[in-house]
C-alpha cells in the first residue's frame, strides 16, 4: 500500500463550487505539504503544516484553505473554484528527524475547473 495517498485522483468541477482534496499518510511524519503543478512552472507550494497545530501559507495560498485533522491527514479546500485553479495537486510529507529535508509525494490529484 502507498505511504501517501490522495483522493480523489481525478476531479471535474464547475466554477464557484467548493471542493476538497484529501491526503493521508502512513509514514508517521509530522510535516505535510500541498503543492500545485502547472506546465512550465514546476511545483509551487500552497500550504504547509509542521504539526497538527501549525499551519503556514506558501507562495500561492490565495483561494485555498487547509485543515490538518490529525497527524496523518491534511486536506486542501477550494472554497469557490475558478478555472485557473485547474492543475495537478500533490501532497507531500517529511520528517526532519529521520529523512532530513527529503519529501515523499502522493500520486497527485488532477483537477479540472470548468
What would the DSSP string read from start to end of the chain?
Answer: --SEEEE-SEEEE-TT--EEEEEEESS--SEEEEEEEETTTEEEEEEEEEETTEEEE-TT-TTEEEEEEETTEEEEEESS--GGG-EEEEEEEE-HHHHTT--EE---EEEEE-
- Applying CB under 8 A, among 8, 16, 28, 107 the residue interacting with other proteins is 107
- Residue 42 lies near other proteins (rule: CB under 8 A): yes
Q: Of the two residues 16 and 28, which places its CB atom closer to other proteins in the complex?
A: 28
Residue nearer to other proteins on the CB measure, 42 or 62: 42
Residue 58 lies near other proteins (rule: CB under 8 A): yes
Which residue in the set 22, 66, 94, 111 belongs to the binding site for other proteins (CB under 8 A)?
A: 94
- Nearest distance in Å: CB 16, other proteins: 29
Give the angle subtended at the CA of 6 by the CAs of 102 and 55, to the nearest 5°: 60
Q: Which residues bind other proteins (CB under 8 A)?
A: 4, 31, 33, 40-45, 48, 50, 58, 90, 92, 94, 96, 100-108
Amino acid at each position: 500500500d502507498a505511504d501517501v495517498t490522495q483522493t480523489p485522483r481525478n476531479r471535474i468541477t464547475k466554477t464557484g463550487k467548493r471542493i476538497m482534496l484529501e491526503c493521508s499518510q502512513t509514514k508517521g511524519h509530522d510535516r505535510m505539504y500541498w503543492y500545485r503543478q502547472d506546465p512550465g512552472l514546476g511545483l509551487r507550494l500552497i500550504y504547509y503544516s509542521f504539526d497538527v497545530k501549525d499551519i503556514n501559507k506558501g507562495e500561492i495560498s490565495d483561494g485555498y484553505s487547509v485543515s490538518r485533522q490529525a497527524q496523518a491527514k491534511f486536506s486542501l479546500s477550494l472554497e469557490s473554484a475558478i478555472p485557473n485553479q485547474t492543475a495537478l495537486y500533490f501532497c507531500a510529507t517529511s520528517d526532519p528527524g529521520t529523512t532530513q529535508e527529503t519529501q515523499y509525494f502522493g500520486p497527485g490529484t488532477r483537477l479540472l475547473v470548468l
